[in-house]
Structure 1
Amino acid sequence: MKKIVGDLLKNRNVESGLKEYYGKFMEINNKYAFIRLAMNYYTYYVVKQESDGIMDADYDSYLKKVNCIIEKCTKDNNENVTEDIDTLNEIRDEIIGKVKDVTCYVDMYNIYEHAINRVEYRFRDDELPDGYSDENYTRKLMQYILEDEDNMMVNSKIKDVVGQLPLKLTKSKFYDMLSNGLSIYNGSTKDSVDDFLYMIKSSSMLEKTASMEESYPYLAEAFKQLKDIHFKEITNEQYEEAKDVLSEIAAYIDEQMDGAMMIQEILNDLLLVLYTNEFCVNDNIVKGCVEIIKDTNLLFMNKFSPKTLEEIEDMFVMLEGEQEKIYPLLASYDITDQIKESFSETISQLQLDEVYEVVYRLPKLNSDSMFVEMEKEPDNSVADEDYIETKKKELCDEYAKLFKDNEKAVNRAVLSAAISELPIFFNNISELQDFIYNTLVTCNDKAEKLACIEILNGIMQA
C-alpha cells in the first residue's frame, strides 16, 4: 500500500494504482471501523444502563433501528446492505439537524452567561485587589499574551482576552470593524467567506434554524425567561433565578449533546463497516470485534446472551493497542483529496466513479468532526467585491435587528463575542496594549470590572 500511495502522489502507474488503492484503503478502514464499533457500541450500552436520561425519545427510536441493522450485520446473510446504508444516512442527517438546533441554543447560552456574569458583583462586597491599577493589569495581560513564541497561540490569546474585556463600542464603530474583517476575504473562495460568516453569526446568536423551537421546546421557553430580564434593574433574587435557569440549560444541553455524540459515533462506525463490507479481512481481531458487537446487541435487544457484561468487557484485552497501531497507517494512506483533485477523469475512464464515491466518504466518517455533512460540496468560486459588499449589508442588517430586539447588556455581550472572532485588527503590539488599557480605564462599572478581572485571571491561570 505504501508503494501504491507513493506512486500516485508522484503521478506514476496511475491506472494500476487507482485499481489497487480503493480495495486496500477500504480494507484498513473496515478493520479500524470494527474495532471502534465494538468499543463505542459496548460503551453506549453501559452508559445507557447507568443513565436513562442520556437520550430523548428520538434517540431511543434511532437506537432501535441501529440495533436491528447491527443484528443483521452480525449474521452471514445480510442482503440489504444498500437499504441499511440509506436508513443509517437518514438517521445521521436527522441527528445532524438536531445538533444544529441545539448548537443555536449553545450560542445563546454563551451570550446570556456573559451578560449575567457581568452583574454578579453588584450583589457582593468584593473590592479590586490591593494595589490594583489598570496600567499594571494591562502589563500583566500583555505578558500573558506574549509569553508564547507561536504566532497562532498569541493570536488565540488575543481573541480570548479581547472577548472578555469590558468593551464599550458605538454601533457604527462595530460595523466598521465588521466591514474591515470581511474585506480581508475579498478575492478568496465563497466557502471561506461563508465559514467566517458562520463563525461570527454563531458567536452572536444570529445563527438560527427553522426547527430549533420545535425540536427543543424546553430550551425555547427557558431562553424566553432570560430575554425578559431587565439587567439595569435586576435584583439579587432575579440574578439567582437567572443563574439557576442557566445551570439547568447547561445540564440539559450537555445531556442532549452527549446522547447525540454517542449515537453518531456508532452510526459513523457502522456506516464504515457497511460501505467496506466487501473488503472485510475477517482476521482474529475482526472476528473478536464481531463477537463483542453480537453479544452487546443481544443485551440491547433484551435477548438471551451467552456472556455477561463483565465477560464481554474481558474480550477487549485482545484489542489492546490495535487501534493505535492502525490509525497512523489509516492517516498516511488517506490521499483521497489528492486523488479526487488529480485523477477524477482517469477514474471515470476506468469506470470506477461509483466505488470512489464511497472511498471519498470514508475519511469524513473517520474524522473528528463526527457531524460533518456527507453531501456538502465546497464552493471554491471567487468571492468578488460585489459578493463581499452584499454579505456586509446582510450581516449589518441582521445585527441591527438583533440590537433592537435585545437589552443593552445582551448587546454588549454580542459585541464582545463577535469582536473576539474578527481577524486580528491591531497593527502592532502598542495598539493592542493601548486597546486593553483604554478599555479597562474607561470602565466605570465596578461590578463589571470585577467580573472581567475574575474571568481574565481564570484564562491566564488555565
Structure 2
Amino acid sequence: MNNNLKHVIKDINNGKNLEENLPLYFNSLFGKYYEQSILNVAMEYYTVLQQQADGLFNGTEEKRTVDFMNGIVNLLFVQCATVDKYQEAALQLEMHRAEVIRKMEVLTAYIDQVLLYEYVLNRLEKKYVEQVPEVNEEIFVQKLVQYIFGTKENFIINERIKETIGQLPVRMARSKYYELLKNSLTLYKGADKSSVKTYLYMLRTSANLYKPEGMEQYFTEIGEMVSKFHQVDYDTLSKEEHKQLSETVIKAADMLKAMMEEYVCLQTLLNDLYVYVLAYPYGDFAENDKTGICRDIIKEAAEYMQGEAVEESESIEEKLVQLEGLQETLLEDIVVLEGILPVIGESYGSLLQGMMLEHQYKSLERVQQLMSTSLFMEFTEEAEETADEAYISEVTNELIEELTLLFKSRPIRFIRAVIANTIDKMPVFFNSADEVTEYIQNSLQLCNDVSEKQAAIEILNEIIEESELY
C-alpha cells in the first residue's frame, strides 16, 4: 500500500479533508476489490471447468446454475459489456444467488433428516448380531469422562460434552427436554433477534421441523429416498430390511454431501462474480499484467465451457503460476482498508448522503458480506431488534408446540433421535464435571436396550480413539 493512501486513511480517522479523502478511499477500496474479484473469478471459473470435465454439475439444477454463470462470464469478459449493463447483471446475480440459497436450504433439511434416520438405524444394528460383547460400563464412563476433560481448553471441553450427549442413549422425560430448550433460549434475552432466529433455525432443521420452500421442487430423487424412511416400522425390521435401509442411508448421505460440495463451489463463484460487478464501475484502477492474465484465463476457460475449444489448454495452468502471491498481497491491503469502513458509516453518514456516496458505501458493505466466509448469507435491510423477554417466551412456546405435535405422530426411536440431535446443539447445561459424569451414568443405566447402548458405546469409543491420533 502506498504512503498516500496511508495518509488518506489517517486523515479520515482524524476527520480531516473528508470531501477529498472519502472519494479517494472509496475508489481505492473498490479498486482492490476489483483486482481480488477478477483473480478469484479466474481461479474459481477454471476450477468449475475442471470439475465439470470430471463429471460434476450434471444434475438439472446444477447445470442451470453453470449455464447462468457462463452467460454472465460471456457478458462481462467476452462481450466486454459496458458499465450500464452491470446493474442488470447485479440484479440477475442477486436473484440467482438467492435461488441457490433456497436449494442449499433444501439440501440441509434433507441431510438433517438422513442423520436422524441414520441415528435410529445405528442404534438397531447390534440387534442383528448373535452375540453382543459385554462392556464394563464403569470403566467406559471413566474413559469417557477422562476424554472430555483431558484438556484445559474450555471450548474443546464444551464441544466434547455436546458431542457425547448427542451419542448417548436418550432417557429423558420430555418435560426435562422442554425445560432445557427453554433455558437455552433464555440465554438469548437481550441479544439481537437475528441471533435468536439463527439458533431456532438450527434447532428446527435438526428436529426435522423446518420444511424450506422448494422441497417439492428440488432434488426429488433424494426426497423419494427420505420418504421411505418415514414409512418404516423400525421395531419390526428384519435383518435384511435393516441392511437395505442402512445402505440407502449411506447412499443418500453420500449424494447429499457431493451435491452440497458442488453448491459450495458454485456459490463461491457466484459471490466472486457479484463482487466484480459491484466493484468494477467504481474502482480506481488501471489494467495491469496480473489483471490481464486473469482476463485471459477467464476468456480461455469460457471457450472450453462453450465448446469452442476441443482440448483443455496447458496455457491456463501456466498463467495461474504467474499469479502466485497476488492474493496474499491484495488481502493485506484490503484488510487495512476495510478497517476504517465501519468508522465511516458510524461517523459520516450524513456527509455520505450529501456527497452522494451513500450508494457506494452500501455497495462496499455488500462486498464485505460477499467476501466473508458465510457463503450463503442472505442480505436484509431490516434494522436489528433486541430480543426481549416477551419475544423469547413467544418463540419458545411456538417451538415447544411444534415439537409436541411432531412427537405425537412419531415413534419413540425417532423422538429419541430428535432429542439427541438437538440437545447437542444447545449451550452446555452442566455446571460441573460431576454433573456430566452423573448424566453419562444415568443415560447408560436407564437404557435397557442392549443394542442401543452398545451402539452408543461403540461410536463414542471410535470418537475417543480418533482423537488420540492427533
TM-score, normalization by structure 1? 0.93
SS for the counterpart of 2:322 is helix
Aligned residue among 315, 336, 352 for 1:347: 352
Relative to structure 1, the CA distance from residue 315 to residue 243 in structure 2 (aligned partners, 3 Å threshold; closer, same or farther) is: same
Of 340, 353, 361, 2:366 maps to 361
Q: Is 1:109 aligned to 2:102, yes or no?
A: no
- Partners of 2:254 and 2:210 in 1: CA distance: 22
Per-residue CA deviations over 1:25-58 (Å, capped at 9, x if unaligned) read: 111111111111111111111111111x534223
Correspondence 1:223 to 2:226: yes
Residue of structure 1 in register with 2:271 after alignment: 268
CA contact (8 A) 2:102 2:213 kept: no
Structure 1 residues 149, 332: closer, same or farther in 2, change over 3 A?
farther
Aligned to 2:461: 457
Structure 1 Cα separation of the partners of residues 413 and 19 of structure 2? 63
Are the counterparts in 2 of residues 108 and 205 from structure 1 also a CA contact under 8 Å?
Answer: yes
Partner of 1:257: 260
1:12 Cα deviation from its structure 2 partner? 5.8
Match of 2:323 in 1: 319
**1:54–1:255 contact (8 Å) kept in structure 2:** no
In the aligned structure 1, how far is the partner of 2:331 from the partner of 2:352?
A: 26
Task: Pick from 400, 422, 428 the counterpart of residue 424 of structure 1.
Answer: 428
Aligned equivalent of 2:238: 235
2:167 aligned residue (164, 167, 178): 164
The aligned amino acid for 1:106 is I
Find the counterpart in structure 2 of residue 310 from structure 1: 314
Q: How many correspondences in the alignment?
A: 457
Give the distance between the partners of 1:179 and 1:46, measured in 2 at CA: 49
User: Shift of residue 218 of structure 1?
Assistant: 1.5
Deviation sequence 1:406-445 (CA, Å, 0-9, x none)? 2211110100111111121112221111111211222222
Aligned pairs for 1:440-451 (under 5 A) are: 440-451=444-455
1:97-155 Cα shifts (integer Å, max 9, x gaps): 111111111111111111111111111245346xx432222221222122222222211
- Residues 392 and 30 of structure 1: CA distance in aligned 2, closer, same or farther (over 3 Å): same
Deviations 1:135-183 (A, max 9, x none): 2222212221222222222111111111111121111111111111112
- Of 338, 352, 377, which residue of structure 2 is paired with 1:372? 377
Counting only pairs closer than 5 Å after superposition, residues 378-417 of structure 1 correspond to structure 2 as 379-417=383-421
Contact 1:168 1:439 in 2 (8 A): yes
Output one character per residue of 1:57-111: Cα deviation in whole Å (capped at 9) or x when no partner.
2332332232222123224741212122222222111111111111111111111
1:204 matched to which residue of 2? 207
Shift of 1:378: 5.7
Q: What do the CA deviations read for 1:280-303 (whole angstroms, capped 9, x no partner)? A: 442111110110101010111112
Between 1:315-324 and 1:274-283, the stretch displaced more is 274-283
Q: Map residues 292-303 of structure 1 onto 2, 5 A cutoff.
A: 292-303=297-308
**One-letter amino acid of the counterpart of residue 245, structure 1:** T
What does residue 177 of structure 2 align with?
174
1:92 corresponds to which residue?
97
CA distance in 1, matches of 2:6, 2:147: 45
Q: CA 1:182 to 1:21, structure 2 compared with 1: closer, same or farther past 3 Å?
A: same
2:196 to 193, 197, 218: 193
**RMSD over aligned Cα atoms:** 2.1
For normalisation by structure 2, the TM-score amounts to 0.91
Which deviates further from its counterpart, 342-351 or 399-408?
A: 342-351
In the TM superposition, residue 382 of structure 1 has moved relative to its aligned partner by: 2.0
Q: Structure 1 pair 138/274, CA: closer, same or farther in 2 (3 Å)? A: same
Are the aligned partners of 2:126 and 2:132 in contact in 1 as well (CA < 8 Å)? no
Residue 29 of structure 1 pairs with residue 29 of structure 2: no
Verify: 1:286 aligned to 2:291, yes or no: yes
Letter in 2 for 1:50: D
Q: Which amino acid aligns with 1:238?
A: E
How many Å apart are 1:379 and its aligned residue?
5.0
Q: 1:308: Cα distance to partner? A: 4.1
Aligned counterpart, 1:65: 68
Distance in 2 (CA, whole Å) between partners of 1:410 and 1:10 is: 61
Give yes or no for contact 1:191–1:378 (8 Å, CA) kept in 2.
no
The amino acid of 1:118's aligned partner reads R
**Equivalent-residue separation in structure 1 for 2:96 and 2:217 (angstroms):** 18
- 2:385 alignment partner, SS class: coil
Residue 43 of structure 2 corresponds to which residue in structure 1? 39
- Quote how far apart the aligned CAs of 1:338 are: 4.2
Instruction: Tell which deviates more after alignment, 41-50 or 242-251.
Output: 242-251
Matched residues in 1 for 2:98 and 2:407: separation? 33
Contact 1:48-1:54 at 8 Å conserved across structures: yes
Q: What is the CA-CA distance between 1:213 and the residue it aligns to? A: 2.1
What is the CA distance between 1:234 and its match in structure 2? 1.6
**2:57, 2:66 within 8 Å by CA — same for their partners in 1?**
no
Moved more, 294-303 or 145-154: 145-154
Please identify, of 293-302 and 335-344, the stretch whose mean Cα deviation from structure 2 is larger: 335-344
Q: Distance in 2 between matches of 1:14 and 1:166?
A: 63
Per the TM alignment, residue 343 of structure 1 is displaced from its structure 2 partner at its CA by 3.2
- Distance (whole Å) between structure 2 residues aligned to residue 11 and residue 101 of structure 1: 48
Q: Is the 8 A contact 1:55 1:256 kept in 2?
A: no
Distance 1:446 1:199, change over 3 A: same
| Letter paired with 1:272 | V
Distance change in 2, residues 1:15/1:234 (3 Å): farther
Structure 2 unaligned residues grouped into runs of 5+: none
Asked whether the equivalents of residues 145 and 154 of structure 1 are also in contact (C-alpha less than 8 Å), the reply is yes
Q: Which moved more, 1:247-256 or 1:71-80?
A: 71-80
Identity %: 28
